[in-house]
Every structure is written in structure tokens, then in C-alpha cells.
Structure 1
Amino acid sequence: MNSTPDPIPHYFVRTEEGFEPTGLSRNPWFADAVAGGPISALFAHAIEQAGFDPGFEICRVTIDFLGIVPRAPLVPRIVPVRQGRQAQLYRIELLAGAKMVAQAHVLLARQLDTPEFHPPHPHPAPEDVPEDDFLIGASMAGAIRTRPVMGQVREPGRGVAWMCMNGEVVRGVPASPFVKACLFADFGNGVGSATHAHEWSYANLDIGIQFFRMPRGAWLLLDAHTEGAGNGHAVAQNLFADEDGVYAKGTQTIFVAPGSPR
């Protein structure tokens, strides 16, 4: 009898040159591509591993998808853009071979003691919400658990859910709340979609997250809704919270077109 424990679900395997995507990273629209959530989480992993000045705090992360990200070895490259006394900006390029397939910008501000302005947090605690299957096929082989508060993925309307991820983005590296938050930031266009999935697709073209502070704890909340003018694109507006309150707000630019993910 084989007593070897099952490996923890993970999206990427670290190699000498970069990161090899696993089957769990598969894009729902394209079989040989990587989904936006794993890419966002991989950027977050690269940000954490970069060794930025600890006297600065992350206040914004933006991600642009420059086309289909292939399920092929991926290599991040960090480029300094601004090195100021109050703010620092870095660009992270994600390369598949010689081609840049996605990019992220991370803005850091010097840490100071300043007044607090807490946004409202009118959401139930995760322990007050029963667990249920909310993500429909995006559960990372069961590693992502959900406690839905409102709505349903692939159904029109605002969606609110607590999420917990017990898997790894990179094999052998425990995922921090920041990495998990960047993963969940990709889910807003599905959690808070404004169209029926069998009639319209709603792929996100980018991800933007404005952090008030870094997230804490195992359970993270996503509150999402989408608005648009009927001209082929829309905006998913996302609010992120943990048990201590709201830690970030964000947006995604959504490309709306006839059809649905396979």
C-alpha cells in the first residue's frame, strides 16, 4: 500500500529558469492557456520574492494580459521604473520564450503613521455563513473553499462570497494572504457578472487592486458587481475584505462578446 500523501494542489512548479504551469492552471476559454487567476497569483509570488525595501508598503498592483498566456514555461523579469524617496514603481514582465505575454506594475509607498479612514464592512463573518460550492469548476481541485453570501457564479447580479485557499500557487511554497488576494481578484468578473454565461462571455483584460493594507487570515471576502454601457466592454468593481475589515478595492476591464467558456 502506498503511504505517500497526496501532493498539495498547485498551479506552478519552480524550475531552474522559471515556472512550469500545471493542469490546474488551465484557462476555461483556451485548453492550452493559463487562466488569469493563476497568472495574477504568480505575479504576487514574484512580488513577494523580489525583496523590495521593507520600509515601503504595497499600495497598488495592476496586471495587463497581453494575449493568451500559453501553458509553457513562464519567466518573470522585474524592471525598476521609479525609485523615489516616497514611492517606488516596478514593472514585472512575464515571458514565454522571448515573448512578453503579461505584465504587472506594483506601486509601493513609504510606510508612515497616519490617520485611519476605514471603509464600511457590512458583511457577515465567515463562520456565520455555511460552506457551499460557489465557483463552479474553479475550485482548484477542492483546495478553494467558499462560503457564499449572495449571488452565484455565471448568473447575472452582484456576488459576495468568503473564500479560503488551501493550495499552493508554486509547489512547496505556502501561499500568503497577499498571494491569495491577488488570485481572488481575478474572480470578480465571474462572481459579479452582469450577463448569462450561456449567452455572453466576459473575459477580463486586466486586474487592478488598490490596497489599504495587506490582507490577514485564512478567509478572504470578494464583493463584486459589473456595469457596462452595452458597447462590448464593461467594468467589474470589486471590494475585498478579511475578518478585520476591508483591505482593498479594485476593478477589471471586461471584454463582453457572444458565446461562453467551454
Structure 2
Amino acid sequence: MSTPATAGPWDAGSQHAGPPSALFARAFERHEPIEGQRLARVAVDILRPVPVAPLTLRVRTVRPGRRITLVEGVAEADGQEVLHARGWRLARGPQQPSGSGADPGSEAGAGAVPALPPVSAARPWPGVHAGGYMEAMEWRFVSGDFVEPGPARVWMRPRLPLVAGEETSPFCRTMMIADSGNGVSARLDPARWLFVNVDLTVVLHRDPRGEWVLMDAVTTIGPDGAALAASRLSDHDGPVGQGMQTLVVTPR
């Protein structure tokens, strides 16, 4: 059963896509698990707004294997399909040396991760609904905020577990956070424009450690109503992966 804490910033009756996307990650981690595999990538397509209502998830294995497994799922609400998703689980291999110099995107060459700032005094979300998900997450902005247009860096963590009584897994926690990339890096006034994502893809090259995730997000807007929000995701030890959202941009 979805709670009001999942309500998104555009409509109090529709969920932010982060929590239901994280439910897929949870289902993919638990569906026919294979020892030694970890979830590395989840891609979610948003077919229509997800109501703050009970959701039913159906999951199946598409491609089983000891080294790689592909799973997919469908989420339904009120008898309608609202989300489709696919996830890749990969076998954990031998520990790789960090900072060998072979990979320019390795953690060693990524630059220092900014420290967690004190409680943020960022200006509040100016969109339609400032409760729900916006209050269920803790935000600590390093640069930018909800009002200042352009790129932003923000440390985030959920104040609530994904499922009551359970510890939220690192991948699920990151999925809850990553869908906020388009909001924190908004290039347009949300009181005048909609820039809603139709999908979310998260790839993690390692599991994040700790409860905080740093999102370094940039939105690029095209000339004809499409946009891309790309987020670099890190923990206190360095980068952990990437998030990406395709956006449709329309005036209110």
C-alpha cells in the first residue's frame, strides 16, 4: 500500500517515481536470487502517472545465468499497467585494483567528494505539492537549490524506509534518490513549466556505502520539447554510478 509520503511534487495524488522504481529494485534483488550476484542496473519506463494507491508488481526472469541474469517486471494500479522495468544482476568477481590509471573515470581520478554540509537552508520547492516525497527525503545542497536554475549538487537520504519494518538496500535507496535529478537541476520555473521524466535508468558500478548519496545533476533542454537529466551518483568514498532521465517539457 502506497502512503502519502510517496506523493510527487506535481500532484498530491500521484507518486514521485523514486519509490515505485525502488520497489522494482527490491523485487529484482529478491526474485529467484543467485548467490554471488548483485543488481547493477535498473531501467524503468513510466507509462502513466502512478497513483498514491496499492500497487501490484509482477516479475519474471528473462535470461537466467550464473554470471548474468536479466529480470523484468510490470507494476499495475487500479487494473492499469503504470510502470515497466528491467534489471541486470551481475556476478561479483575478484576485487579490482582502484585507481590503476587504466580508466579515466575511476574513483581515483574523479576528484574529491564534497563534505556533507550542515542542515540545508535551501529555498523550498516552488512546485504544486511541497509535501509527500519532498518532506520524506532529507536534502543537503552543496551547490544550487530548488529555485536557482541550472546544475546542482545535493546530498540526499530517505527519512523513511522503502517498506515499513525493513532495512532499505543500497540500490533501493539510490533508486529513491536518483529520480530527483530533473528536479534539483531544473532549468525552468516549475510553477510555469512541466519537465516530467518518462523513464529512469540507474547503473551502479559498486554498491554505495552509508545512508547518504550525493547527486551531481545537470539538465540539458532541446529545442523541441525534449530534455535529458544526467546525474553522477557518489557516496563519501567516491562515485558509485550514474542516473539518467528522459524528460518531456511543456508549459503549464
- Same fold, TM-score > 0.5, yes or no: yes
Secondary structure at the aligned position of 1:21 is classed as: coil
8 A contact 2:6–2:132 mirrored in 1: no
Q: Which residue of 2 aligns with 1:13?
A: none
Q: How does 1:51-70 map to 2 (within 5 A)?
A: 51-70=32-51
8 A contact 1:203–1:256 mirrored in 2: yes
1:146-175 per-residue CA deviation (whole Å, 9 max, x = no partner) reads 221000124320010111223112222222
Q: Which residue of 1 aligns with 2:187?
A: 194
Q: Which shows bigger deviation, 228-237 or 46-55?
A: 46-55
Q: Which residue of 1 aligns with 2:28?
A: 47
Q: Which residue of 2 aligns with 1:125?
A: 115
Which one of 137, 157, 161 corresponds to residue 164 of structure 1?
157
Write the distance in 2 (CA, Å) between the matches of 1:143 and 1:22.
11
Tell me whether 1:255 sits opposite 2:248 in the alignment: yes
Q: Which residue of 2 aligns with 1:234?
A: 227
Which one of 173, 181, 184 corresponds to residue 180 of structure 1?
173
AA of the residue aligned to 2:118: P
Secondary structure at the aligned position of 1:168 is classed as: coil
Tell me whether 1:206 sits opposite 2:199 in the alignment: yes
Q: Which residue of 2 aligns with 1:83?
A: 64
Tell me whether 1:105 sits opposite 2:86 in the alignment: yes
Deviation at 1:112, TM superposition (A): 1.3
AA of the residue aligned to 1:235: L
Q: Which residue of 1 aligns with 2:144?
A: 151
- Find runs of 4+ consecutive structure 1 residues off by over 6 angstroms: none
Deviation at 1:133, TM superposition (A): 4.5
Gaps of 5+ in 2: none
AA of the residue aligned to 1:204: N
Secondary structure at the aligned position of 1:173 is classed as: coil
Deviation at 1:220, TM superposition (A): 1.1
* Aligned-CA RMSD value: 2.0
Q: Which shows bigger deviation, 51-60 or 177-186?
A: 51-60
Gaps of 5+ in 1: 1-19
Aligned residues: 238
TM-score, length-scaled by structure 1 = 0.83
TM-score, length-scaled by structure 2 = 0.86
Closer/same/farther in 2, CA of residues 75 and 210 from structure 1, 3 Å limit: same
AA of the residue aligned to 2:246: T
1:192-218 per-residue CA deviation (whole Å, 9 max, x = no partner) reads 122222332111111011111111102
Percent identity between the two aligned chains:
33
Write the distance in 2 (CA, Å) between the matches of 1:141 and 1:160.
16
Write the distance in 2 (CA, Å) between the matches of 1:201 and 1:96.
23
